[in-house]
Amino acid sequence: MSDSAPVAGEYPPPRIAWGMVALLTLAYLLSYIDRSVLGLLVQPIKADLGLSDAQIGWLLGPAFAIFYATIGLPLGWLVDHKSRTRLIALGVTVWSAATAACGMAHGFVQLFLARMTVGVGEAVLSPAAFSIIGDSFPAERRARPIAIYSMAITLGAGIASLIGAAVLTWAKRSPEITLPLVGTIAPWQATFLAVGLPGFVVAIAFLLVREPRRQPMVGAADNSLREVLRYVIEHRAQYALITGIVAAMVIVAYSQGFLPAAFERRWGWPPEYFARLNGIVSLVVGPAVYLSAGILCDRLLRAGDNAAPLRIMSLSLIVLVPSGSVAMLMPSAWLAFSVLIVATAAIGAISAVGVTALLQHTPPAIRGQVVALYYMAISLAGLLLGPTTVGYLSTHVVGEDRLHLAIGAVPVIYGAIPALFAVLALARRRAQVPTL
């Protein structure tokens, strides 16, 4: 890679740029499978390790969030100063090894430490990925690659759901299996090994590719942490609005980790049945929504509507709040599931364009750190508020036999005010947003 200064507007050829997007998306897909598969294996893990619901709650949320959210800022600094592809290779290696280690855990402490390490590895990926994408595509063509990368969330959730459904069914038939060099293990342990090991191949791929040149610095004097914080504070209104909308969405999304239990308690669906259906819907609806949102956003941006990402996010949040709540009031499981598909589409649209809106306000030289701050905020909000709010409301307010009502309350509690601010912001300024 040449060390000469990049020329403004100089981007890699489309073939190279899109190849990088494909590799980044594959890494994100694997990361989301590794991150979310634990939630689908709760029952067999509890049975084998003798864990309580409280311990499972710590594993699902805080164990992952402790480092995933907080270590992102120093990693973001590294992204802005060091080789991004090598950092990603290291991150993929760490989280893949930690995922496999989850399958070897024999107690709560071991599983907690392994889960924390998964968060450490995954924290580097998105700041580096969005920095690379920002340097690979001009602003008016950036929404679609960002949406495709973000689409890995729904693909990962869908594949993880199908894996979880298969494992739950398998566990009922085969209490244990034997693997070479490993010995006799339970199906849930084999699952962690199976989803963790492919990451090592992806890590090697990142060592073999060349990252794009960094775009020249615009709108920021340097890319020190002090400058990053100064810039964010100076533009706090824009960043707060974007982060508030996405944080509300993430809180709702993480609160839905209780949906398999709610469908079983309220409507009698076995967890593996819900997981199978949810996996199919995620794989069909999710990619369609992400691609459509990205293509629409790029089209509107090229037409001169610089507020397009914010407009799509705002309208989607307005759809998410009632659909996420009303679904839990439906008289039948199929009606509830159908309304949840609408909520899933709204979640996907916000996720697809959120970073596009963020990068509109962010100079290239500080993208890694700003994206890290962004992910720290939305991850802490989602992981710490989403599951814990549902659990508190279920146990202390509505009763655990009415878990569905606790889930339905979350979109209103956390989404109503951000939706209102989004509407007011769009009404005030048919905004001219900078494109950095």
Helices (H), 303-402: 308-326, 333-360, 367-392
As a whole number of angstroms, the distance between CA 338 and CA 328 comes to 11
Beta carbons of 272 and 165 less than 8 angstroms apart = yes
How many beta carbons lie within 10 A of that of residue 36, not counting itself? Answer: 21
220 band by pLDDT with thresholds 50, 70 and 90: very low
Q: What are phi and psi of 327, to 5 degrees?
A: -55, -40
Between residues 435 and 403, which one has the greater pLDDT? 403
- Over residues 180-203, the pLDDT tens digits come to 777 788 888 888 888 888 899 999
As a whole number of angstroms, the distance between CA 24 and CA 325 comes to 34
Alpha-carbon dihedral angle through residues 107, 111, 112, 114, given to the nearest 10 degrees: 150
Q: What are phi and psi of 330, to 5 degrees?
A: -70, 150
Beta carbons of 74 and 45 less than 8 angstroms apart = no
Q: Is the pLDDT of residue 219 over 60?
A: no
Q: Is the pLDDT of residue 371 over 90?
A: no
Half-sphere exposure of 346 (CA within 13 A, CB side): 27
As a whole number of angstroms, the distance between CA 114 and CA 111 comes to 5
Tokens of 392: 């508190």
Q: Which residues on adjacent β-strands are paired with residue 183?
A: 179
* Domains in the chain: ranges and CATH: 14-428 (1.20.1250.20)
Q: Is the pLDDT of residue 5 over 60?
A: no
Q: Three-class SS of residue 178?
A: strand
Question: Which residue do the tokens 């989403």 mark?
Answer: 386
227 vs 40, 77, 185, 219, CA distance in Å? Answer: 42, 12, 51, 11
Q: Is the pLDDT of residue 1 over 70?
A: no
431 band by pLDDT with thresholds 50, 70 and 90: very low
223 band by pLDDT with thresholds 50, 70 and 90: low
As a whole number of angstroms, the distance between CA 275 and CA 318 comes to 27
pLDDT at 9: 55
